[in-house]
Structure 1
Amino acid sequence: MIYELSKHKLAQKQTMMKHRDIYHDKDFVLASIDEELPGYPLYIKKIESRMRRLLKIAELNPELTPHSLHHTHTSLLAEAGVSLPKIMERLGHKDEDTTKNVYLHVTQEMKKEASQKFKELMENL
């Protein structure tokens, strides 16, 4: 999967250079390398279709979707201690509530950490 993304990124860079005067550069991960709409985001059905094919080849969970990867990425950022403003910036969110309520699921590791911190606090009283 990483190899395929790397190949696509290289193709994007080549398209960007070839069509620098019309390339729609908004830093999309899966931007079109099509001659007519270079740089515009790919249609979701096309992304899902490619992802299903790649998941099958890689023998990974076929239930994964681009959206599930988005959620996982966000949860891992939170678990790594990345600040809410940085996560919002990375996701392109303007509304803090959207990020907090929809994407920042509390992971098992974060639950353990909260429990450990509370235990330490109580022991130090």
Structure 2
Amino acid sequence: MLTYGKRWTESDYVFITDRGANPVSVKSVCEPIERIIKKSRIKRITPHGLRHTHATILISKGVPLPTVADRLGNTPEMILRIYGHTLKKLEVESVKIFNDALNF
């Protein structure tokens, strides 16, 4: 967006063209993903599913919630609400790591 002299707003699209930052069609986003899925025989995922995967990976790698929220255009509270289960898993793992470090 900045390349085209535009600032990001809440109503902007995630996928834009290289011709003036106009939104791309749903078809132009989904068709390449479908081709990759068919060619690689991986599990089907939607662009929205990729968004969730992106967030989950960032959270699991310890990226701060405000950073994840900013990348997704959400608030940290919304990230907690949506991805709280991921954080609970990390809490359980952190206890195990701490116990292992103390040789319990």
Question: What is the TM-score normalised by the length of structure 1?
Answer: 0.57
Q: Partner residue of 2:40?
A: 58
Q: Partner residue of 1:49?
A: 31
Q: Partner residue of 1:32?
A: 17
Pick closer, same or farther for the CA change 1:99–1:109 going to 2, 3 Å.
closer
**Mean CA deviation greater in 103-112 or 38-47:** 103-112
Contact kept? 1:33, 1:39, Cα under 8 Å: yes
* Uncovered stretches (5+) of structure 2, i.e. residues with no partner: none
CA radius of gyration, larger in: 1
* Uncovered stretches (5+) of structure 1, i.e. residues with no partner: 1-15
Deviations along 1:28-85, one digit per CA (max 9) or x if unpaired, are: 6631235xxx312323343122211222123322x21111111111111111111111
Q: For 1:1-125, list aligned pairs within 5 A.
A: 20=4, 24=6, 26=8, 30-34=15-19, 38-61=20-43, 63-93=44-74, 95-106=75-86, 110=90, 112-117=92-97, 119=99
> What CA distance in whole angstroms lies between the structure 2 residues aligned with 1:24 and 1:60?
36
